[in-house]
Amino acid sequence: MIDRLPKQEQREKRRLPIAPGSQKGSAWRWNVLIFLAVITVFLSGRWMALAVERFPPPDFTSHKLPETPVPPPPSPVWEMVDTIALAVALGTATYLALAKRSRNGLFVLAGISLFWFGFHREGCVCSIGAIQDVAQGLFDGRYAIPWSILLFFALPIAFALFFGRVFCAAVCPLGAIQEIAAVRPQKLPDWLEHALGLFPWIYLGLAVLYAATGTSYVICEYDPFVAFFRRSGATSMLVFGGSLLLIGIFIGRPYCRFLCPYGALLGLCSKLARWHVRIPPTECIRCRLCEDACPYGAIVAPVPPLPRGERQTARRRLAVMLAAVPLWLIAGGLGGYALHPLLAQLDPQVRLAQWVRAGQVPPDNKFAQDAIKAFHNSGVSENVLFQKAVERLRVFARASTAFGLWVGLVIGLKFVQLVTRPRREEYLPDPRRCVACGRCFWYCPEEQIQRGWLSWEEVAQLPRARIPEAPSPLPSGNAR
């Protein structure tokens, strides 16, 4: 017969830290069940429309565009309700992440936020898309930013300045749907993490460029999950969103980490926050379980002081990278100016002028044919159209140069960051990359000891926990 453990030992064994790289208990099964429930809600909607037209062309012809169901403009009451709900959700996420330290609570709150801000409100108002409204309001004095959009943009940033990225933890519906889909997330190599981490900043620059020039709201146009939230949308965006969710099963939150421009802003603000998510409730024992458990590469290891002989080399390397920043700015500005004709292709005036000048368009481009026909029916001369296109190109020349300078600055500062060595004496979450999801709480033996689930003797006997023999933390300043 097989020996059975006493019930008390069985209960304690279920609370032991799990092997690195796995999920605690049956949590991944709950992820699968909730993910399937989300997909069921998504499939229960109507699939009548195949395109989302946010900037419809003027109706100059008899051509009938397909109707697309979009959410009606919210009433002032609903705007106030949504704003209050956002503030309450941010406060709750802050309490659960920093005070309660509850991964389960954050997961439940993420599900509620996904339902309310995602499926119920159909992705609008969106803090991520509010970047474009703010950019247009700053560069276009004729545009008045609605107060609800301004608050949706500012509130998560305000919380990030004090408490870190609690908005990403369990309030953002785009992050919530990816967190639920993250069944078996794996870590990426550091070099790939750093390289892909540049894209959110580049995307931010593009979004500001097109919003400031009054061309388009590209974040909303290419939102990967808005079609899921509205149960309708362009086929290409449905495929894009579904692909991100499939990738998100194995690479945690791909949109949040490598595309989301608002997440980049929150990460920058989080660097200034006074309070952050802390992995152990008391002292770090350097068991490295949190580093293995975090699928987002957000746990940074202790950094010992450099030997005296290497400090001069490190200073020279940092000086070289700082001196290279102006070179990156010049290269970026020149590259941005060279690309301004390409970036201007999204502008309706520039595209129409090119179609009219060419005299013909591909027969399968029905939209271009209708646009040319509408222009000729309007009675405007071609010279006027060409003059407007030239003016728009001048605007894009300036805007694209600024965008290139921005990209050069981002790349230059990334190299500066890679050669800096901030001293750390324990394993800490990187405020820029940590989304305060609470996964590391499950794996920390200090957390389980603090809650009375385990004793030091039991933890020291775990072969997979890699706990030091001495239960007390290493002396201050002696980093491994």
What is 195-209 written as a DSSP string?
Answer: HHTTHHHHHHHHHHH
Q: Could you tell me where the DSSP H helices lie in 259-362?
A: 261-270, 289-293, 308-338, 340-343, 348-358
Please, what is the angle between helix 76-94 and helix 103-113, to 10°? 170
Of the listed ranges 19-33, 122-136, 279-293, 404-418, the least confidently predicted one is 19-33
Give the pLDDT confidence of 153-171 residue by residue, as tens digits.
999 999 999 999 999 999 9
Is 280 in a helix, a strand, or coil?
A: coil
pLDDT value for 14: 40
Is 303 in a helix, a strand, or coil?
A: strand
Is a pLDDT exceeding 90 seen at residue 78? no
pLDDT band for position 233 (cuts 50, 70, 90)? confident
- Residue 159 in contact with residue 274, Cβ under 8 Å? no
- Residue 5 in contact with residue 13, Cβ under 8 Å? yes
Of the listed ranges 92-106, 134-148, 325-339, 465-479, the least confidently predicted one is 465-479
pLDDT value for 299: 86
Is a pLDDT exceeding 60 seen at residue 186? yes
Give the separation between CA 182 and CA 14, rounded to whole angstroms. 22
pLDDT value for 298: 87
Is a pLDDT exceeding 60 seen at residue 64? no
Exposure of 302 in the CB half-sphere (CA atoms within 13 A): 17
Q: Which amino acid is at 184?
A: R
pLDDT band for position 9 (cuts 50, 70, 90)? very low
Q: Which amino acid is at 364?
A: D
Is a pLDDT exceeding 80 seen at residue 446? no
Name, in order, each residue with C-beta under 8 angstroms of 108's C-beta and a sequence gap of 6 or more.
Answer: none
pLDDT value for 398: 95
Of the listed ranges 24-33, 78-87, 429-438, 449-458, the least confidently predicted one is 24-33
Helix (H) or strand (E) holding 383: helix 382-419
161 or 8: whose pLDDT is higher? 161
What is the average pLDDT score of the chain? 79
pLDDT value for 62: 45
Q: Is the dihedral of CA 207, 208, 213, 214 positive or negative?
A: positive
pLDDT band for position 10 (cuts 50, 70, 90)? very low
By 3-state DSSP, what share of the chain in percent is helix, strand and coil, each rounded to 5? 60, 0, 40
Neighbouring C-beta atoms of residue 220, cutoff 10 Å = 20
- Residue 435 in contact with residue 296, Cβ under 8 Å? yes
The predicted model gives 180-187 an average pLDDT of 85
Read off φ and ψ for residue 303, nearest 5 degrees: -120, 110
Is 45 in a helix, a strand, or coil?
A: coil
- Residue 290 in contact with residue 440, Cβ under 8 Å? yes
Q: Is the dihedral of CA 332, 334, 339, 343 positive or negative?
A: positive
Alpha-carbon torsion angle 326, 260, 279, 28, nearest 10: -150
